[in-house]
Chain A
């Protein structure tokens, strides 16, 4: 199969890679760029485990072709912590035990960060509906929602401090 040469920025780094037409962005991130933090749970956009930011927009990377990433900026879970400092969401997920097996966690973190950047004061209902595209089978969502709400509160208080 002929391959396309694409240049894309991932977590701030410029990467060049050859991709087949049928490879999704998820395939490219995992198999070509070796960034395995983004997970495949279904491959059809139903579970959110593959969530990334594409030019600042929350998307399922399994629903984007690798070739469409040319010239775009992608943010994955690997770029969420700043050096040694975890993002408040990452920290609160740990504090609130918002993960059990952890496979859905990268997707949830990316999606929750997108929510809080858009809406710093979400209600519980708004959190649940925003995150409805992220499936979790282990936690029943309770501690995930608590961790997101706690982070929202923490970020609001830090901004006002």
Chain B
């Protein structure tokens, strides 16, 4: 019987070495809320588990050049406890706090949610809308990537062998800027998103939208950054016409599937509805600042 090796290195370099040298499947363990489920149902049979929680850099949240550097093993539950982070990025925090349950949020991480590369991951549309980047360590050294560059297909990432995400970076926020995340699920909690939408807005002094990023989840093999949807509202005060155009652009960008969680038709329709509602919330939040 194969032994599953478990290691908990104390440094980034040690982790990279283990991952790069692994024979068979090596998996990074932070929160474990996806990995343990996949192992239990034999979807994933790793030969090596690399627990990154003992690496000091992965466990902290700190301000960095006006933005936020969130370590890869910081549980989602911790994010909401940082009042200043919630003020800057309420959408990212509310998305993180929708993953699973209170118990799941006690372990699950933003980095893990991103790297698990589920098309329906809750925090990812919010991260993409926020313009988040990730710091990656690997055998060839460190590099930075955009959040939207990580998932390349359901369950597949652009990370090379030996690489892992060390932290997530949220850029600094100008005045009059905010974000929001909404998802549709058939119950009120616990479900995987049938559609998810993250929107981040920056307003000018007159209250017109100066910059927008719109991201949709669960409507394509990977979460989408929808440039046409952003274009539909830039320069507007999010009036009824702009909202309609936003909704139409969001629906048009969907390439969803029929599955046990929703039909194509339903996802396309609801993507437009959520985009409208998320934009309204982000707009109100930005105006209130």
Contact = CB atoms under 8 A, between A and B. Distances in A.
A58 B102 CA distance: 7
Interface stretch (B10-18, B103-111, B243-251, B268-276): B103-111
Question: Dominant SS at the A interface?
Answer: mixed
Interface in A104-161: 111, 114-115, 129-134
A20 B75 CA distance: 25
B87 to A, nearest CB: 20
B131 interface: no
B103 A44 contact: no
B107 A63 contact: yes
A22 B103 contact: no
A63 B103 CA distance: 9
B37 A129 contact: no
A114 B101 CA distance: 13
Given A45-B100, A111-B102, A63 B4 contact: no
Contact of B103 (A2, A4, A43, A60): A60
Interface range for B:
20 to 34
Contacts of B77: 57
Interface string A43-59: 11110100100100111
Interface of B: 1, 3-6, 29, 31-33, 36-37, 39-41, 49, 51, 53, 75, 77, 100-104, 106-107, 188-190
19 contacts: A1-B1, A4-B6, A44-B37, A45-B33, A45-B101, A45-B103, A46-B190, A57-B106, A60-B107, A63-B33, A63-B37, A67-B6, A114-B102, A129-B189, A132-B188, A132-B189, A133-B100, A133-B190, A134-B101
